[in-house]
Amino acid sequence: MSAASSPPDAYRRNHYVPQWYQRRFLAPGDPQAKLFYLDMKPDLVRHDDGVERPRNALLRWGPVRCFKEDDLYTTRLGRLQSTEIERKFFGPIDEAGPKALEFLDSFNHTHIQHGALNTLVETMSIQRLRTPKGLEYLARLSKAKRNDVLMLMQSVRNMHCAIWTDAVWAIVDASKSPTKFIVSDNPVTFYNQDCFPGGDVCRRLGDPDVRMVGTHTIHPLSPDKALVITNLAWVRNPYQKGIRVHPNPELYRGAVFNFTGVQVGRELSEHEVRQINFIIKARARRYIAAAKKEWLYPEQHLGNPSWRLFGEEHLLMPDPRLMTFSDQFVFGYEGGGSQVFDEYGLRPGQRGFQDKQRHKAQWDSFHRFRGEYARTFGPQARGDTLEMGGRSNADMVARMHDHHIQHEREIVDRLSIPLPKVKKRSGGLA
């Protein structure tokens, strides 16, 4: 440990949501450069009359004061203190993060930056862990003391990357909605329709595990854009329990990412933006922020919706009609040799590699879901991807509309199961 008795104050003021990220959510042209910052659990203050009252819950603060905790990352050994984590660990991460996030925010399939992908998933993964909520999660799992938790945070910083890499990515767009995305003290948010905020899993772990098939990841990129990551096994079979384990739950492994499969261009209704903000707020630990104060209260427009409702309405689901049913990736190298992965990152010889029973079951459930999705949202694709060769897939979705519905009916008839009813959605369609 490189210790000093009095670390520089600048390195002791630790922003667990980086200032550069917060600045992306400021209102354009705001001369004050401040956010509306809501404390959902304000401290009690004893007044002159002896009565305790909560502090003001809504504040107007700039990024320098928001999502900050003094000495959150300062390690101590007796009277010695070290700020190396802030200086040497988070310094490079926060220097590289902005460009990677901006690349994804503006991504439209016209160019690819593999380095930006690696930086982005690493930045997102450590963001999950660097917050007070993330550190509490590590402490709960490891039962370690504070300094050891901070060391553990660094060593497991890439724990989410492989699961995210072989999942389905969608960049959703709120540019036509008057309400925009909010920021929280848990800015990489997990949602699982089978893990209620007050349920057993969230009480024990704080959030659903990313390795549960039904866990979606939500990460606002800016007021107008958010990244939604959905496990492939969930898109292929959304009829299973959302708490089932990922077909390849190994955290530290190789994974294959397909840029052409990133879904872009799905325009959200204001109702859908409010639903996503509701989830973000519900999974925050204490603080949320936005450029406009009315965006901080989505429940005023939604009431008290069922937690499962967002899943049942496919709010966060990518469009399955824009996806293929690939089950193998083969990579050859100039010097000879090759590598083979299945769709879940499993390699030949590993248990579950190209499991035929799973493949058959998922083939049926995936094509059932395509038909249900077509009946729910109509013939127009909710976004777009590219085929190999640069062709858009959105036009194909419209042409295949009747086929998707007919294929679903054939499968449910063969399996002798009922055709799912299309539920009336709680808000306007995007």
Q: How far apart are CA 361 and CA 411, in angstroms?
A: 11
Mean pLDDT of 61-85: 94
Confidence band (pLDDT; 50, 70, 90) for 414? Answer: very high
DSSP secondary structure letters along 9-53? GGGTEEESS-HHHHHTTSPTT-TT--EEEEESSPPEEE-TTS-EE
Is 342 within 8 Å of 354 (Cβ atoms)?
yes
Give the pLDDT of residue 327.
81
Is 286 within 8 Å of 185 (Cβ atoms)?
yes
Identify the helix (H) or strand (E) that includes residue 109: none
DSSP-based three-state secondary structure for 77: strand
Q: Contacts from 104-108 at CB under 8 Å and sequence distance 24+? A: 104/171, 104/221, 104/227, 105/171, 105/221, 105/222, 105/225, 107/171, 107/262, 107/264, 108/264, 108/265
Whether pLDDT at 389 is above 70: no
Interval 155-180: pLDDT, tens: 999 999 999 999 999 999 999 999 99
Whether pLDDT at 429 is above 50: no
Residue-averaged pLDDT of the chain = 92
pTM: 0.94
Confidence band (pLDDT; 50, 70, 90) for 427? Answer: low
DSSP character at residue 246: P
